[in-house]
């Protein structure tokens, strides 16, 4: 029997008997009280790690944040490992294990250490805006979520419940800019997902604690290469000259737009285009140069972009359609499209929806109201997606509320830190108890 089916049975029996989580028990009161008592300490930890620059390519800074949090896990009795990232050109990942050996569900908690703000960013420090709002690089995305993981686990340890739990925490160092190859950069996360029954991500989602993610669209890259015959522009469309590379690239992109844009939850975006007689494309730097003359038929075009889709089936269907479009070449042109590994989609499975039901019941019992699923169109790719197909249940966006992440105006809503920590602690307790 699938784990989510077992939990559904317990959940239903409790509801029918009137003995569902209709009130908070004494252990849960203890968890709540601990979070309130230690909130000032949690905010101090948040400030400390926000003030450490950990842009993805600042390997030293990413490791420093990892060191700070590793000490917290060590103090909780976790076995901690730093997975070096040299093989995929990143700092690496922090992995922490607490396996009691009990038959409690195996829980995977997911965070990340890196931010989009590198060492040359003007946005470097934590700044208190008012009693409820603070600015800071990565405060919402997602250092607040990392602190929530730590203090939820501290609350469980204080209540004497951590000792019976089975937990792995993976805090990646390259969520914002993944290392390559992906099979190495995400290996620690995938290995943990293969072990786990349930995955919980502590990203900030859409920044609203009244929502959570039961699905995330995947994100994969593509590159279109088009070639034609160089010739004097006065000869274009002649049988032996043909349409040229730019006309062919335009046909393909327009066909993508016309034939695919109406599909639900699908987006596809050409982010870079170079074309002319000669071009130089730097795929690593995401840049390039092109040379061409108005009186010369273009010989080459390269276009790069991404696809975001909700399920593996949708990805496969869209790729097949794009290949069909690319193959219908205009005269004397050739075109190929290549797809690259990326973030897989996290489909909205029955198990994921059931986990959201359990989480929203926790929230309602704590007096925080219902939690609604986020529209997948409003959710980007995230590390939790790499658990798809391995765990029975997954949910994301249990992190701290905030706004304007990935900009120098990023803020965290400080009142949501204890709120989300209480929810997380009680959720983990209930999952483990059942």
Residue 341: what pLDDT?
87
Domain that holds residue 258: 218-339
- Provide the angle, in degrees to the nearest 10, between the axes of the packed helices 39-50 and 26-37: 50
Q: Clarify whether residues 334 and 369 are in a common domain.
A: no
Residue 380 has what pLDDT? 75
pLDDT in single tens digits along all 434 residues of the chain: 445 445 444 443 343 333 344 479 999 999 999 999 999 999 999 999 999 999 999 999 999 999 999 999 999 999 999 999 999 999 999 999 999 999 999 999 999 999 999 999 999 999 999 999 999 999 999 999 999 999 999 999 999 999 999 999 999 999 999 999 999 999 999 999 999 999 999 999 999 999 999 999 999 999 999 999 999 999 999 999 999 999 999 999 999 999 999 999 999 999 999 999 999 999 888 899 999 999 999 999 999 999 999 999 999 999 999 999 999 999 999 999 999 989 999 999 999 999 999 999 999 999 999 999 998 888 778 999 999 999 999 999 999 999 999 999 999 999 999 999 999 999 999 999 87
Phi-psi region of 265 (alpha: psi -120 to 50; beta: other; left: phi over 0): left
335 and 373 both lie in a single domain: no
Whether residue 10 is found in the same domain as residue 112:
yes
- Helix ranges, 167-235 (H): 182-185, 187-195
> Are 380 and 406 part of one and the same domain?
yes
How many of the other CB atoms lie within 10 Å of CB of 107?
21
Same domain for 226 and 160? Answer: no
Q: Which of 285, 313, 339 is the last residue of a domain?
A: 339
Token pair 């990023």 in the structure block, residue: 410
Q: What is the pLDDT of residue 13?
A: 37
Domain boundary pick from 339, 361, 385 = 339
- Please check whether residues 166 and 287 belong to one and the same domain: no
Residue 142, preceding peptide bond in cis (omega within 30° of 0): yes
pLDDT tens sequence across 151-203: 999 999 999 999 999 999 999 999 999 999 999 999 999 999 999 999 999 99
pLDDT at 284: 80
Residues in the chain: 434
Cβ–Cβ < 8 Å for 343, 218: yes
| Residue 216 contacts residue 381 (beta carbons within 8 Å) | yes
pLDDT (tens digit per residue) in 31-67: 999 999 999 999 999 999 999 999 999 999 999 999 9
In this predicted structure, what is the pLDDT of residue 242?
Answer: 97
Q: How many domains does the chain have?
A: 2
The CATH number of whichever domain residue 293 belongs to comes to 3.30.70.360
Separation of alpha carbons 293 and 281, rounded Å: 18
| Contact criterion met (CB below 8 Å) for 90 and 56 | yes
Here the CATH number for the domain that contains residue 46 is: 3.40.630.10
- pLDDT for 7 equals 47
- Tokens at 223, concatenated: 């590159």
Strands 198-201, 393-395: parallel, antiparallel or unpaired by DSSP?
parallel
Percent above pLDDT 90 for the chain: 90
């Amino acid at each position: 029997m699938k784990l989510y089916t077992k939990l559904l049975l317990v959940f239903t029996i409790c509801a029918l008997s009137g003995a569902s989580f209709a009130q908070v028990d004494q252990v849960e009161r203890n968890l709540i009280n601990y979070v309130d008592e230690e909130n000032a300490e949690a905010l101090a930890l948040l400030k400390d790690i926000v003030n450490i620059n950990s842009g993805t390519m600042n390997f030293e800074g990413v490791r420093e944040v990892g060191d700070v949090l590793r000490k917290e896990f060590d103090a909780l009795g976790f076995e901690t490992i730093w997975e070096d990232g040299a093989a995929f050109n990143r700092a690496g990942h922090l992995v922490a294990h607490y396996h009691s050996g009990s038959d409690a569900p195996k829980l995977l908690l997911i965070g990340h250490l890196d931010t989009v703000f590198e060492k040359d960013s003007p946005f470097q420090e934590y700044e208190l805006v008012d009693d409820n709002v603070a600015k800071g690089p990565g405060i919402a995305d997602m250092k607040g979520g990392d602190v929530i993981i730590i203090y939820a686990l501290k609350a469980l340890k204080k209540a004497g419940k951590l000792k019976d739990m089975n937990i792995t925490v993976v805090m990646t160092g390259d969520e914002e800019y993944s290392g390559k190859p992906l099979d190495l950069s995400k290996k620690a996360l995938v290995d943990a997902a293969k072990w786990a029954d349930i995955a919980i991500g502590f990203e900030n989602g859409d920044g609203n604690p009244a929502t959570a993610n039961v699905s995330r669209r995947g994100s994969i890259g593509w590159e279109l290469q088009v070639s034609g015959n160089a010739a004097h522009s006065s000869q274009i469309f002649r049988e032996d000259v043909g349409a040229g590379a730019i006309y062919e690239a335009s046909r393909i992109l327009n066909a993508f737009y016309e034939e695919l844009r109406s599909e639900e939850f699908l987006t596809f975006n050409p982010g870079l285009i170079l074309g002319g007689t000669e071009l130089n494309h730097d795929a690593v730097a995401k840049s390039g140069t092109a040379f061409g003359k108005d009186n010369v038929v273009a010989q080459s075009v390269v276009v790069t972009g991404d696809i975001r889709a909700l399920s593996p089936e949708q990805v496969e269907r869209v790729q097949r359609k794009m290949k069909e479009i690319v193959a219908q070449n205009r005269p004397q042109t050739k075109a190929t499209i290549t797809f690259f590994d990326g973030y897989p989609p996290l489909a909205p499975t029955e198990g994921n929806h059931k986990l959201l039901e359990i989480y929203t019941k926790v929230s309602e019992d704590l007096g925080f109201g219902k939690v609604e699923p986020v529209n997948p169109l409003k959710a980007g790719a995230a590390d939790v997606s790499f658990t798809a197909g391995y765990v029975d249940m997954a949910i994301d966006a249990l992190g701290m509320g905030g706004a304007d992440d990935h900009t120098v105006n990023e803020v965290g809503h400080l009142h949501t830190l204890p709120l989300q920590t209480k929810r997380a602690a009680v959720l983990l307790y209930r999952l483990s108890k059942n």
